[in-house]
Amino acid sequence: MAEKDERHAGWLELFYDLLFVVLVAQLAHSVVEDPGWQSGLRLLVLFLPAWWVWVGSTLYTNLTAEVGAERRLDTLAQMAIVMVMAASATQAAEGHPGLFAGAYAASRLAVLVFRAVSGRKWPAGGANWPLVVSAALWIGSIFLEPPLAYVPWLVGLAVELYGVVRRRAGGSFVRQRLASGRISLSHLVERFGAFMIIVFGEAIAQIVGAIAGAHGTPLAVITGLAAFSVVAMLWWLYFDYGSAVAERTMGGRPEESYRLTVLIFVVGHFVPVVTLVAFAAGLGGLVAAGAHGADAGELLRLCAAALAVYLVNNAIVGLTAVRHPVRHILGWLLPNVVVLALVAVFADALPPAAALLLITLVLATETLPRAKRNAKASAAQ
């Protein structure tokens, strides 16, 4: 069953996360410059390999801890590679992804080098051939132009992912440990929650930057506060309900550790993270537009679409992994989706602050009653 050691993230993992703070900021910046569906798709494509690097390192560290000079040097090497990915993210978003692709290929080769050097001292996280194939495909993509360059990216990632999610007995060290429930649940929940904090932090940075850029005018402050209220509700919903429910589900069904780790965390967190990055990028533009009375229709539609996808993904995870009743899911999903659809339809006529406060109000109708019920339940105990 899942280990109850209450292990927490180490200093090296927190140091590692700093690179992803920068990477998220760079990717968000690319959306701010060109808010539209094409930017959203580019964000999805560019974020996927970065997410896979982070997930791979997080799961491996969860199962082995971060002790040993070899493992520390491996993590520091990965950090150097992620730094190059972050530095080239804007360039990749502008249609020149060669350096970004080369850095990701280097991250795969670095894993192979670590396995070769460490020998039997550290268990391999999986087979070597998927990494070799993926690295070759990513290197080959350097000689192609977007969007064709993205094809070998996706094939390479699919090859790597196949080795993780395929259904068969035995398998890699990571799969065996997860399947047997030998995972630190507290560490897993904390690490994925930390990545959500990175994204929420980017949203706040966008808001603060926009208010400062507008020299703190009243409209900028009002719109910024409205934007923060949405972020606050999303934070509340994730950590009081999403994260807490995921932990209870994993703890209560240890025989499904592998399946639930993939559904809830590896796959289930990807869409929420990437959509919240897009949402964060849109918030800065909304505050700036609200401050100057500029057209914010496109940005509002971006934010509404990002939140709608975020909520639908959470509903799917709730149905497939947590096994919430359909009626319960629809009870909170439908009102939110309807409001977000109305915001998108009337985006050109709505002041950004009014639209954001409306979204906050609908999110609060789910958050606040639950908090009240939880408080009563705690008092009764």
pLDDT at 354 over 90: yes
pLDDT at 137 over 80: yes
What's residue 3's pLDDT? Answer: 47
- Asked whether the beta carbons of 220 and 294 are under 8 A apart, the reply is no
Of 30-44, 185-199, 282-296, give the lowest mean pLDDT range. 30-44
What's residue 38's pLDDT? Answer: 80
d(CA 99, CA 102): 5
Collect all residues with Cβ–Cβ distance below 8 Å to 22 and sequence separation of at least 6: 83, 86
Q: What is the pTM of this model?
A: 0.90
Band (97; pLDDT cuts 50, 70, 90): very high
What's residue 34's pLDDT? Answer: 74
Band (294; pLDDT cuts 50, 70, 90): confident
Residue among 231, 248, 236 at smallest CA distance from 367? 236
What's residue 42's pLDDT? Answer: 87
What's residue 254's pLDDT? Answer: 83
What's residue 372's pLDDT? Answer: 58
d(CA 208, CA 308): 24
Of 95-104, 180-189, 343-352, give the lowest mean pLDDT range. 180-189
The string of pLDDT tens digits covering residues 225-242 is 999 999 999 999 999 888
What's residue 5's pLDDT? Answer: 54
pLDDT at 132 over 60: yes
Of 17-21, 120-124, 321-325, 337-341, give the lowest mean pLDDT range. 120-124
Return the top range by mean pLDDT from 177-186, 349-358, 363-372. Answer: 349-358
Average pLDDT over residues 46-67: 88
What's residue 40's pLDDT? Answer: 81
The string of pLDDT tens digits covering residues 167-194 is 554 556 566 666 555 788 889 999 999 9
Distances (CA, A) of 111 to 17, 30, 211, 336: 18, 29, 43, 43
CB atoms within 10 A of CB 288: 23
Between residues 181 and 290, which one has the greater pLDDT?
Answer: 290
Quote the tokens at residue 74: 């491996």
Average pLDDT, the chain: 88
What's residue 371's pLDDT? Answer: 61
What's residue 4's pLDDT? Answer: 47
Please name the residue that has the structure tokens 């690319």. 30
Band (29; pLDDT cuts 50, 70, 90): confident
pLDDT at 129 over 80: yes
Band (119; pLDDT cuts 50, 70, 90): confident
What's residue 184's pLDDT? Answer: 86
**141-148: Cβ within 8 A, 24+ apart:** 141/97, 141/101, 142/98, 142/101, 142/102, 145/95, 146/95, 146/97
**94-100: Cβ within 8 A, 24+ apart:** 94/30, 95/145, 95/146, 97/46, 97/141, 97/146, 97/149, 97/150, 98/142, 100/46
- Asked whether the beta carbons of 34 and 300 are under 8 A apart, the reply is no
Distances (CA, A) of 277 to 237, 251, 335: 17, 29, 23
What does the domain layout of the chain look like in residue ranges? 1-183, 185-374
Between residues 33 and 323, which one has the greater pLDDT?
Answer: 323
What's residue 2's pLDDT? Answer: 47
- Asked whether the beta carbons of 105 and 135 are under 8 A apart, the reply is yes
Collect all residues with Cβ–Cβ distance below 8 Å to 50 and sequence separation of at least 6: 20, 23, 27, 82, 85
Average pLDDT over residues 133-149: 96
Average pLDDT over residues 273-294: 91
pLDDT at 75 over 60: yes
